[in-house]
Amino acid sequence: MNTIVELHARRPARRTGKVVLVGAGAGDPDLLTLRAARLLARADVVVYDHLVGEGVLDLIAPAAERIYVGKHSGCHALSQDEINALLVRLAREGREVIRLKGGDPFVFGRGGEELQALAAQGIEFEAVPGITAACAVASYAGIPLTHRDHAQACVFVTGHLKDGSCHLDWPALARPRQTVVIYMGLAALAEICSQLIAHGLSAHTPAAVVQRGTTVEQQVVSATLADLEARVAAAGLRAPCLIVVGEVVRLREELDWFDAWRASALPETQAALEAAFSG
């Protein structure tokens, strides 16, 4: 059976290029999809973000042009409008453009906004999903997002809205028997914890913050809503982090396979492990 990538490769050359929106996953390069890896290996130009790991960048075709457009707190290489214009220009030059974004581009990745800009200009595009941070990071932290005894629902939210605020639907997030996963919420951690408690969750509700999840530098702080902020501050965690709130966090001590595996590795393999996860 022919793959989509193979079928696309047989198409006649286009006068106008194309943009493929590709999810790079949460950090560990082994979590990249096969389709994404194949596309990167034959890319003409790759426009990539701050959260794309070096191990994924190593899979890019050696001859491909690389353009960094990353954003992180207080520092934007290009504005969103400038990125949109760049993608349009590159496609109009007849180039095969890979727009590489961390996690999944359609989960708090502005992927929809970028494809809207391309559609408005008549540029051909497609999307390749990546494993979003909520799924990947929770798995590597030993926290199942759902469990028949603890959570029958899971909610993904962003802790940093477009206007920079953290005004969320707190009553909905404070409902029992669900897991809440908060992206980009570290700076608002104090408000998140206090609002969840104010809207009905027990101060003893378990919660965790995971820094650089799925990588060899992964660090997890588990606590309750009442003391999570203080413990995270004491640990010195820095973005990128993911916040998980709910009874499922209690299972981490039993299900923490990644830290146990990392600790059991022989000393002589530590360098190899770091190379595998960082590229």
Angle at the Cα of 23 from the Cα atoms of 18 and 28, rounded to 5 degrees: 140
Q: Which residues of the chain have pLDDT under 70?
A: 1-15, 72-76, 161-164, 266-279
Residue 267 pLDDT:
59
Consecutive H or E run containing 218: none
DSSP state letter for 20 = E
* 140 and 254 together in one domain: yes
What residue numbers bound the domain in which 78 lies?
17-131
* 22 and 82 together in one domain: yes
Assess whether 71 carries a catalytic annotation: yes
User: E strands along the chain, which residues?
Assistant: 18-23, 45-48, 65-68, 71-72, 75-76, 96-101, 124-128, 153-158, 178-183, 206-211, 219-224, 241-245
Assess whether 49 carries a catalytic annotation: yes
Residue 48 pLDDT:
97
* 190 and 244 together in one domain: yes
* 174 and 239 together in one domain: yes
Q: Give yes or no for a contact between 93 and 120, defined as CB atoms under 8 angstroms apart.
A: no
Residue 260 pLDDT:
86
| CATH number for the domain that contains residue 101 | 3.40.1010.10
Residue 264 pLDDT:
81
* 144 and 187 together in one domain: yes
Catalytic residue (one of 18, 28, 58, 71): 71
> How many domains in the chain?
2
* 114 and 178 together in one domain: no
Residues 6 or more apart in contact with residue 23 via CB below 8 angstroms: 33, 36, 101, 102, 103, 104, 105, 109, 128, 129, 130, 131, 132
Q: Report residue 122 as tokens.
A: 């008549």
Catalytic residue (one of 18, 28, 49, 101): 49
* 147 and 244 together in one domain: yes
* 193 and 155 together in one domain: yes
